[in-house]
Amino acid sequence: MPSPANDKRTTHFGYREVPEDVKAGLVAEVFHSVADKYDLMNDLMSAGAHRLWKRFAVAVSGIRAGDRVLDVAAGTGDLSARLAARVGQAGEAVLADINNSMLEVGRARLADRGITGNVRFVRADAENLPFPEDHFDLVTIAFGLRNVTHQDRALASMFRVLKPGGAVLVLEFSRPVLPGLGRLYDAYSFTVLPLLGRVVAQDEASYRYLAESIRKHPDQETLKRMLEQAGFERVEYFNLSGGIVALHKGYKF
């Protein structure tokens, strides 16, 4: 008979196969390592384009003053800050992240920007969100879904806490759709990103993992089907920067 160790289910951690119960810890180590330089690295890696992607996400979100929003895998709070400004003091933006190092950096970043009063920080697992059913007008996750071990469970959890009539936004790296862009993007990802990681963040391995995790993430149509399987309806997506990034939007009815 096979040993229990051989029966363990595996998943990908970048290009490595690891036991499912190990991945969350490995991802936690990555983001603990890069937390302090995360925002700077995002600016350098995307030449500032990540700010335009997030601005677009907020623009199509449909949220209004007084709404309650949840930002899953909120990290350092860059998207959350924009959401908090949109819902105003009558609303609430909840920043949820499994990584305490990222949450602490996010708390400090938002405080420095004077964003207080309508924000709340919660350490939470995307696969099992600790909030009531039908609670939020909008649920977002930006550049975090690909790091979740069981993405289907995370999408189901986001569906559960969303109010009927509410929307989900998934902003994530995806598959380039412009001819020739894929080859250029691969060359950039596997040469420039690790180099920036080594020079700026003193952590080449974490940024090599992040580049690999993008390649393992589902493409636009696959993620659309996953959202539909989780219960979301009227799912659509917008290709940004030639498909390097895609924004998926769906509704709960």
**pLDDT in the model for residue 148:** 94
Q: Which residues, 6+ apart, have CB-to-CB distance to 134 below 8 Å? A: 161, 162, 163, 164
To the question of whether residue 84 is assigned a binding role by annotation, the answer is no
Evaluate whether 72 touches 172 at the Cβ level (below 8 Å).
no
To the question of whether residue 39 is assigned a binding role by annotation, the answer is no
Residue 6 has pLDDT above 70, yes or no: no
To the question of whether residue 152 is assigned a binding role by annotation, the answer is no
**pLDDT in the model for residue 12:** 85
Mean pLDDT of 167-185: 95
Q: Which residues, 6+ apart, have CB-to-CB distance to 26 below 8 Å? A: 13, 18
**pLDDT in the model for residue 3:** 45
Place of tokens 């420095």: 112
- Average pLDDT in the chain: 92
Q: What is the pLDDT of residues 68-106, one digit of tens each?
A: 999 999 999 999 999 999 999 999 999 999 999 999 999
Evaluate whether 126 touches 157 at the Cβ level (below 8 Å).
yes
**pLDDT in the model for residue 65:** 98
Mean pLDDT of 5-27: 80
Domains of the chain and any CATH numbers: 49-172+220-251 (3.40.50.150)
Question: Could you tell me the pTM of the whole model?
Answer: 0.90
To the question of whether residue 43 is assigned a binding role by annotation, the answer is no
DSSP string, 14-25: TTEEEEHHHHHH
In angstroms, rounded to a whole number, what is the distance separating the alpha carbons of residues 184 and 161?
39
